[in-house]
Amino acid sequence: MNRRHLLRIAGGGFIAAASMTSLSGCDSSMPAEAIAAWQAPALKLAIRHWVLSHALLAPHAHNLQSWLVDLDTPDTIVLRMDMSRLLPETDPLSRQLVISQGTFIEVLDLAARQRGYRTEVTPFPEGEFSATAPDTRPTAHIRLVPDAQVQPDPLFAQVYKRHTHRGVYEARTPDAAALQAVRDSVKGLPVTLGLVTQGDGAAMARHAQIAMDAWHTELVTPRTLLESYHVLRIGPKEIAQHRDGISLNSPMVRTLTALGLFDRTKASAPDSSEIKGQLERFNAAISSTPAYFWLSTERNDRITQLQTGRAYVRAQLAATAQGLSMHPLSQALQEYPEQAAHYRAVHHLLGAAERGHTVQMWTRLGYGPAIGPAPRRGLQAHVRKA
Residue 297 forms beta bridges with which residues? Answer: 358
What is the second-level CATH architecture of the domain 33-203+287-382?
Answer: 3-Layer(aba) Sandwich (3.40)
- What ranges do the domains of the chain cover? 33-203+287-382
d(CA 189, CA 175): 24
Tell me, what's the pLDDT at 25? 39
pLDDT band at 2 (very low <50, low <70, confident <90, very high): very low
CA distance between the termini of the chain: 31
Comparing 92 with 15, which gets the higher pLDDT? 92
63: left (phi over 0), alpha (psi -120 to 50) or beta: left
pLDDT for residue 355: 96
**Strand arrangement of the beta sheet that strand 358-366 belongs to:** 192-197, 291-297, 358-366, 325-328
Percent of the chain exceeding pLDDT 70 equals: 92
CA distances from 135 to 57, 93, 105, 129, 334 (A): 23, 12, 18, 6, 20
CA 33/CA 336 separation, integer angstroms: 36
Look up the pTM and report it.
Answer: 0.93
Phi and psi angles of residue 216, each rounded to the nearest 5 degrees, phi first: -60, -45
Phi, psi for residue 289 in degrees, rounded to 5: -70, 125
The amino acid present at 297, given as its one-letter code, is: T
What number is the average pLDDT over the span 88-112? Answer: 98
Confidence of residue 12 (pLDDT cuts 50, 70, 90): very low
Q: What's the pLDDT tens digit per position in 254-302?
A: 998 888 888 899 999 999 988 999 999 999 999 999 999 999 999 999 9
